[in-house]
Amino acid sequence: MRREVGVAVIGTGFMGKAHALAYRAVPYAFPDAAQPRLVAVADINEAAARGAQAQFGFERATRDWRTLLDDPAIQAISITTPCSLHKEMALAAIAAGKHVHCEKPIAPSAADALAMMEAAQAAGVVTQTGYNYIKNPLLELARSMIAAGELGDITSFRGVHAEDYMADPEIPYNWRVDPENGAGALAEIGNHIIGLSRFLLGPIVEVNAQLETVNRTRPVAPGAQARRDVHVDDIARMIVKFGRGCSGSIEANWAATGRKMQLEFEVFGTRGALVFSQERLNELHYYRVGDDARTSGFTRIEAGPAHPPYSNFTVAGGHQLGFNDLKTMEMAGFLNAIESGTPAHANFHEAWEIQRVVDAAIRSSIEMRRVTI
């Protein structure tokens, strides 16, 4: 029998539902993994909490997340609230001896992230942060190809995460543009492309950044005439240097009209190159130097059973993985780390490293200079 892990989820928005759905799917996609027991769901909106309880089969619902801390049936807590609430909730859960999964960005600043990381390390609990896109088996393939030298010496990286969900200037002022939650697009989606670049190429050691606010005011409420000034970025552009010696560019943009999920990268090396886009997440494109000039070009690698754990979801190539499958992989890894007592990836340490890059980019933009990390 696999160990049963009692879990609770704080928050019932987009990510709260994604966590609940993933926990519910783990026993079916990963029958040999530690098994989640959906004990409780918390939301300040009691009706939303009860709705999630009914939808996903949680044993109880509450509007007070603090009631989760003393519940002996709960061993792990998922935090899916706005960023400004993460530190308080995570530190309380860690102090109660709970394992913690916290959505990204982990905290508004690297200092807060460090405090969370150190508390978890001192308590000996397992942590994980929601960088689910790196769970794609094709990205693990890309990482292994780079590590094996199949691209030769890496010469350049180009990455972008662009969406348009904040492009409309009439979207009301909300927690996403509240400085209490840290940076804007840089923190919310820039976290993903920064983390992905680190996943592939290792540490970033220098940043030269420019942050730009496109929509400088927003209505205080839907349809309101009164407006409020915005002091976080809509677009962040960075030139970065990696510890391995190569340089690259990274952009985060949540006002990219027409883009829904442009998480993309290109890695160039002396012997080859790799290209990927989350908008076509079941494809990785590979170029190899020295191929016959008559047929030279990028080869499309299609996700399939040869790329574990693809076959846990479908046994046939070309049938495609999706966002919720990646989240299920993430939660299975978190539960297995709890069972084995080994670090999960990406844990609070990795989240702190990513936040250090974010903080350096903010400082670089303000001071108009390169910043060493």
Residue 70 CA to residue 228 CA, distance in Å, equals 40
- Give Cα separations from 62 to 8, 47, 102, 216, 373 (angstroms): 11, 9, 19, 37, 42
What average pLDDT is seen over the chain? Answer: 97
Q: Are strands 154-162 and 247-253 parallel, antiparallel or unpaired?
A: parallel
pLDDT surpasses 70 at 1: no
Q: For residue range 206-263, what is the model confidence (pLDDT) as tens digits?
A: 999 999 999 999 999 999 999 999 999 999 999 999 999 999 999 999 999 999 999 9
Residue 338 CA to residue 35 CA, distance in Å, equals 11
Dihedral sign for Cα atoms in the order 278, 284, 290, 294? negative
Could you tell me if 272 and 151 are in contact, meaning their C-beta atoms sit under 8 angstroms apart? Answer: yes
Residues near 367 by beta carbon (within 8 Å), at least 6 away in sequence? none
Burial class (CB in 10 A: 0-12, 13-18, 19+), 98: buried
Burial class (CB in 10 A: 0-12, 13-18, 19+), 4: middle
Place of tokens 């982990």: 106
Question: Whole-structure pTM over 0.85, yes or no?
Answer: yes
Q: For residue range 280-313, what is the model confidence (pLDDT) as tens digits?
A: 999 999 999 988 777 789 999 999 999 999 999 9
Could you tell me if 264 and 280 are in contact, meaning their C-beta atoms sit under 8 angstroms apart? Answer: no
Residue 280 CA to residue 139 CA, distance in Å, equals 12
Task: For the sheet with 35-42, list strands across it.
Answer: 60-62, 35-42, 4-10, 76-79, 99-102, 127-129
Domains of the chain are: 4-132 (3.40.50.720), 137-280+282-321+352-367 (3.30.360.10)
The pLDDT, as a whole number, for residue 324 is 98
pLDDT surpasses 70 at 355: yes
- Give Cα separations from 314 to 47, 93, 331 (angstroms): 36, 36, 18
Q: For residue range 146-158, what is the model confidence (pLDDT) as tens digits?
A: 999 999 999 999 9
Could you tell me if 213 and 233 are in contact, meaning their C-beta atoms sit under 8 angstroms apart? Answer: yes
Would you tell me the crossing angle of helices 14-29 and 46-56 to the nearest 10 degrees? 20
Percent of the chain with pLDDT over 90: 97
